[in-house]
Amino acid sequence: MKKTAFYNIHKKLGAKLVDFAGFDMPIQYSSIIAEHKAVRTSVGIFDVSHMGEVFISGNKALEFVQHITVNDASTLSPGRVQYSAMCYPDGGIVDDLLVYKLSDDEFMLVVNASNIDKDYKWMIENNKLDVKIDNQSSDYSLIAVQGPNSHKVVQKVVNDNIDLEYYHFKKEKIAGTDVILSRTGYTGEIGYEIYFKGNEFEAEKIWTEIFEAGKEFNIQPAGLAARDSLRLEMGFCLYGNDIDKTTNTIEAGLGWITKLKKGNFIGREALQKFKDDGVIRKLVGMISDEKIFPRKDYPVYVSGKGVGSVTSGTVSPILEKPIALGYVEKEYSNHDTEISFLIRGKEISAKVVKLPFIKK
């Protein structure tokens, strides 16, 4: 199993480690709910070094990124980040990703850990423009510092002013190491993602410096379980659950990143057709007042008949209610539509609601 540069820190903190995409990752430290609430109310620190970083460079780098992703990377200037996706010709999703414009001829694509090899192969196969594609996933570490106090914490460890706007980044130094400091995250809170190339020694120095800076805010290490419940409260998609090669960006509610007018790209024709003809199902948020919780693959019913299924479900630690994402037939996808989850043979009332579940 692969270990991140923070493995010994997790061990020391008593984390429960599980295999996630081939990495020994902390799923929780103390309590998922406590970690979740720490991020919502103050600040939490996550090791997400399992994420992949692929660098695209060359004078046709932008053209290549435009060809393989659905969003319009031509709108980016250096220092800007964009949420995007790569699709297959049939519109199915290869992966969702972040596109960092490092310079006019260099981009960093941040992809899901479970998809690194697949994505890299996909990029190589579709490299008709002869750009340089450099998978540096194993060399890069990534920490996320998230929560309303994250700005104060990160400012304490960086010399320059870090007043970055959402989805902007800049190069900085933390504990003597060069980092990419990015105002992004997967929690819905103000937060930073910090990328750096370094070994365990540098990684531990950075973690420790942030952790010490966060002590006055009672910073908590947070695991992948809290990361999952945090993103689900915001209605953010998780690849492998809510999106995959069998779902397209239009039905997944990612029409806003699908820029059909930007010029040709892989999947454009199919996605245009989904947009023109309309999709048959849609990804929606669902909530219930019952004390029984929907999980992945549970059926969604309306008047005794199956109309879809849950793709992610949990208890919202903030609302203390069952929440879920799932696909339902389009006619049942409007807000306030009464639906039910079929849970162990029982129909549990719920309704379709507007995302996010938590208003920020």
Partner 1 sequence: MNIPGNLKYTNDHEWVKVEGNVATVGITEYAQGELGDVVFVDIDEGLAEISKGKSFGTIEAVKTVSDLYGPFSGKLIEINSKLSDSPELINEDPFGEGWMIKAELSNTTDLDDLIDAEAYKALIGQ
**Which residues of the shown chain bind partner 1 in the complex (CB under 8 A)?**
16, 27-28, 31-33, 225, 228-229, 291-293, 295, 314-315, 317, 320, 344
Output the smallest distance, CB 348 to partner 1, in A. Answer: 11
Q: Which is nearer to partner 1, 41 or 57 (CB)?
A: 41
Q: Which is nearer to partner 1, 27 or 129 (CB)?
A: 27
Determine how β-strand 52-57 pairs with β-strand 132-135.
antiparallel
Q: What angle do CA 176, 178, 181 make, to 5 degrees?
A: 115
Q: Which is nearer to partner 1, 267 or 322 (CB)?
A: 322
- CA-to-CA dists, residue 88 to 72, 92, 111, 245, 357, angstroms: 17, 5, 16, 8, 30
Output the smallest distance, CB 50 to partner 1, in A. Answer: 18
Cα–Cα distance for residue pair 108/111, rounded to 1 Å: 10
Output the smallest distance, CB 314 to partner 1, in A. Answer: 6
Output the smallest distance, CB 295 to partner 1, in A. Answer: 6
Cα–Cα distance for residue pair 246/58, rounded to 1 Å: 32
Cα–Cα distance for residue pair 158/310, rounded to 1 Å: 42
Output the smallest distance, CB 112 to partner 1, in A. Answer: 19
Cα–Cα distance for residue pair 340/303, rounded to 1 Å: 9
Output the smallest distance, CB 95 to partner 1, in A. Answer: 23
Q: Which is nearer to partner 1, 24 or 105 (CB)?
A: 24
Q: Which is nearer to partner 1, 48 or 315 (CB)?
A: 315
Based on its alpha-carbon atoms, the radius of gyration of the chain, rounded to whole angstroms, reads 20
Output the smallest distance, CB 15 to partner 1, in A. Answer: 12
Q: Which is nearer to partner 1, 285 or 317 (CB)?
A: 317
Say if residues 325 and 235 touch (Cβ distance below 8 Å): yes
Output the smallest distance, CB 67 to partner 1, in A. Answer: 38
Cα–Cα distance for residue pair 181/192, rounded to 1 Å: 7
Q: Which helix (H) or strand (E) holds 40?
A: helix 32-41
List Cβ neighbours of 24 (8 Å cut-off, separation of 6 or more).
Answer: 1, 2, 3, 4, 7, 17, 18
Structure tokens at 286: 């669902």
Cα–Cα distance for residue pair 50/240, rounded to 1 Å: 15
Burial of 160 (0-12, 13-18, 19+ CB in 10 A): exposed
Q: Which is nearer to partner 1, 35 or 95 (CB)?
A: 35
Q: Which is nearer to partner 1, 225 or 328 (CB)?
A: 225
Output the smallest distance, CB 28 to partner 1, in A. Answer: 6
Q: Which is nearer to partner 1, 45 or 225 (CB)?
A: 225
